[in-house]
Amino acid sequence: MTLIILAAGLGTRFGGPKQFFPLGPNKESLFHYSLYNALQHGITQMILITRAEILDQANASLQYLPIPTHIVLQETPNNKPRGTADALLTAMSASNDSQFVLINADDYYGPESFAAAKTLANKHPQIAAIPYLLKNTLSPHGGVSRAICENENDLITSIIETHNLQQAGNHATGTQNGIEIVTPLNTPVSMNIFLFDKSIESKLRTYVESKIAANSTAEITLPDFINEKIQNDNLQVPFANSESEWFGMTYAEDLNAVRERLNDMHQSGQFPKRLW
């Protein structure tokens, strides 16, 4: 399996690119820890998808990695990437592998999530999801965007991008398609960790190209693509809720907490003194 790292974002709420920010005690970036865990669960190569403006940082981040790696550049019309669906298509087109695990560069997913992805891969679905509980993915520093997942009989029945999610007492509030919503804190949400089979590439290409034709600078997201395939094509999307610890960087204020947590994980032996 190939691990695809999404690392082309602008980091608007963070205040700049955060994909390659030095966080670990040896200046590791957050995706290095995901790679370390993924290597224990069937990952044999890695594709880093980024943009030309931060290519030097991307190249520097790949030094010393113990795995074949490849950088792919996502187009940035009007200096903005077209979104996660376009990023996946760009990366998938550059590989002949049959299965892909996709993650964000600026999230820590934990080993259990990659174990779940490997188990799902054995069933050879076209798409599978590894959601987290919303309460474990919120930031104390402001609203976050997550894709809310509804499910039935071990399948995702809808996945809808939701913005400005914040805890409000024993529930969370947010905005979904411009409408204010209230949702329980134990709602499953996507953190952009998915399993994809190569066979989905043609459907993804058709979807992305149709969106570009309608609006060449529109953001084209994976939750929107997956939801359309579920609703219109009856695509079966199995899932496994992750029980792993998650943390990430949405705001600059998240930096200290992430650094402290990574240092604790090194000190406790969850990670070696040096990853490689």
What is the chain's length? 276
Sheet containing 155-168: order of strands: 132-133, 188-190, 144-152, 155-168, 171-176, 179-184
> What is the full DSSP assignment across 45-84?
EEEEEE-GGGHHHHHHHTTT-SS-EEEEEPP-GGGS---H
Q: Give 153's contacts (C-beta < 8 A, 6+ positions apart).
A: none
Residue 21 corresponds to which amino acid? F
pTM of the predicted structure, to 2 decimals = 0.92
Q: Read off the tokens for 55.
A: 């290519």
Closest CA to 6 of 243, 248, 172, 210: 248
Whether the predicted pLDDT of 170 surpasses 70: yes
Cα–Cα distance for residue pair 271/49, rounded to 1 Å: 25
Q: Read off the tokens for 143.
A: 């609203």
Cα–Cα distance for residue pair 82/51, rounded to 1 Å: 11
- Which is it for strands 155-168 and 144-152: parallel, antiparallel or unpaired? antiparallel
Cα–Cα distance for residue pair 74/260, rounded to 1 Å: 32
Query: Would you say the C-alpha torsion 177, 179, 180, 182 has a positive or negative sign?
Result: negative
Domain ranges of the chain: 2-133+192-220+233-267
Reported as a pLDDT band with limits 50, 70 and 90, residue 13 is low
3 state SS of 185? coil
Closest CA to 106 of 202, 20, 197, 16: 20
Closest CA to 17 of 55, 73, 68, 69: 55
pLDDT digits 0-9 by tens, 36-82: 999 999 999 999 999 998 899 899 999 889 999 999 999 888 778 88
Reported as a pLDDT band with limits 50, 70 and 90, residue 10 is low
Cα–Cα distance for residue pair 251/13, rounded to 1 Å: 6
The predicted pLDDT at position 141 comes to 82
Closest CA to 167 of 147, 186, 148, 149: 186
The predicted pLDDT at position 189 comes to 95
Cα–Cα distance for residue pair 221/219, rounded to 1 Å: 6
Closest CA to 81 of 105, 114, 108: 105
Q: What is the mean pLDDT of the chain?
A: 92
Mean pLDDT of 8-18: 66
CATH class belonging to 2-133+192-220+233-267:
alpha beta
pLDDT digits 0-9 by tens, 89-144: 999 999 999 999 999 999 999 999 999 999 999 999 999 999 999 999 988 888 88
Cα–Cα distance for residue pair 48/51, rounded to 1 Å: 10
Please state, for a pLDDT cut of 70, what percent of the chain lies above it: 97
Mean pLDDT of 170-197: 94
The predicted pLDDT at position 16 comes to 58
Q: Give 167's contacts (C-beta < 8 A, 6+ positions apart).
A: 135, 138, 185
